[in-house]
A and B are shown apart, each in its own frame.
Chain A
């Protein structure tokens, strides 16, 4: 009988952009069990809402994540607006939608590059990150920041985008579509990629519901759910259908994200076409008093913002349930039985965002 050994995976590992630790119990080259250990980068950001003015806390929320920061700020703002009964002007909602989709584009391209690197396709990694730079340049031009946008706040948004810049965004994205098609063609047609990803980490739809998986990880198992279907921001006024795959493996998880890249481009084009003129924010007066669970679609999946406030300028509690925490159970299900060489692929397939998870 083979000897069982424990191999520590992380907290520092070449495929991990952020620290998470897994103790992998292996027998020969097969993983038998995976034991997670988290908490390396806890920053106490949820606690800060008890010490900072509720209007300032949007800056805290944006700093929960260094990749999908905008949607954190949007989530916090929308929860405050819901508690206070604030109606955001239509133009503000459309601008939020455009920035949220730019955020998703840069997050998915970043992830796809890292994923390609994990299975040894370095040139694909470089091409993805080269295209991501174009998105970051658009974000910088419209917000002044590349990663921390700083434009969303309760009541609406701080900055407008001129019609010329909106047209420029559409033109840049239209120019990118051809390049993306080439890159994705390489991904979908490459035999080595299929050999590494197809049939790896399969989770059925039924198992996915029990495991509580979210986002593209969940939709790759055939579950047709996306929180943008709730119609928040301007999504209710745009033509939108979730991207779904049915295979439930690592290849399907990548495929769903690749489809979502094109979907985000389409949503931005629709939003630019339909964006109305008018004010971009509503002035916030008074203090929040109440509670609400806000649900939004982050690039890695559903994020929950819970806020409870008692009519003072300091909130009582903010709780953020991030998609990576929800998808951790999926990871722990897929690791036992996997080859040790497939562990980096399975870890990256859930699009782990550890800073978010540890807040």
Chain B
């Protein structure tokens, strides 16, 4: 026999029809964690829309503008990398989870695009900004920006999925 003890205000007690008794005080539960989960299509439009949503939602999180701004930059670089270089079909989806920890913002993404080249995880070299105008690079900044902002990057290829986790110190 199982008996579930019932506590006042736990919301599962018997309902008193037509009761005029005062409602139990609003329960004070654990603080809602700051977390965000999204599934988006692997398109530049979806990434752009997600970054807008992310900015709106995280505006109320207890983080300074610099960290939030860096998070948007980092997410944009990584997600656009999946869209542009992952050879993902347009209907492919990217799962994104962002959680606020004690001292960091944690980002995890899963996609079914092409495997990440190993060298982009090891680090990135800044294109030569001292070059003559005609020789200046128009690309190659993305992974450099990611490595500048992310404090750690962990990557795993499981079956046909890329799982990437990184943090931003907060």
Q: Is B one of A's binding partners? A: no
User: Which residues of B are in contact with A by a Cβ distance under 8 Å?
Assistant: none
